[in-house]
Amino acid sequence: MASGRGRGRGEDDDRIVSYGDATLVRSDLAILRGPYYLNDRLIHFFFTHLELGCDEGDNILLVPPSLAFLIAHFPGPSSSLADVVAPLALSRRKLVLFPVNDNPDVTLAEGGSHWSLLVCHVPSRLFAHHDSSGRLNSPHARHLFHSLNPFFISPQDFRYIEGPTPMQTNGYDCGLYVMAIARCVCQWYYQGKNKAPDDDKEKLVCCIK
Structure-model confidence comparison of residues 113 and 105, the more confident one: 113
Q: What residue numbers bound the domain in which 161 lies?
A: 57-208
Domain count, the chain: 1
Q: How many CB atoms sit inside 10 A of residue 201's CB?
A: 12
User: pLDDT at residue 121 above 60?
Assistant: yes
Residue 20: how many other CB atoms lie within 10 Å: 12
Asked, for residue 28, whether it belongs to a domain, the answer is no
pTM of the model: 0.87
Classify residue 68 as exposed, middle or buried by CB count within 10 Å of its CB (0-12, 13-18, 19+).
buried
The 10s digit of each residue's pLDDT in 67-86 is 999 999 998 888 899 999 99
Parallel, antiparallel, or unpaired: how do β-strands 159-162 and 60-62 relate? unpaired
At residue 154 the predicted structure's pLDDT band, cuts being 50, 70 and 90, is: confident
Within a domain: 5:
no
Whether 10 is covered by a domain: the verdict is no
46, part of any domain: no
Q: Residue 34 domain-assigned?
A: no
Does the residue 103 lie in any domain?
Answer: yes
Q: What is the pLDDT of residues 34-52, one digit of tens each?
A: 899 999 999 999 999 998 8
Residue 29, CA distances (Å) to 116, 165, 181 in order: 22, 27, 22
Radius of gyration of the chain (CA): 16
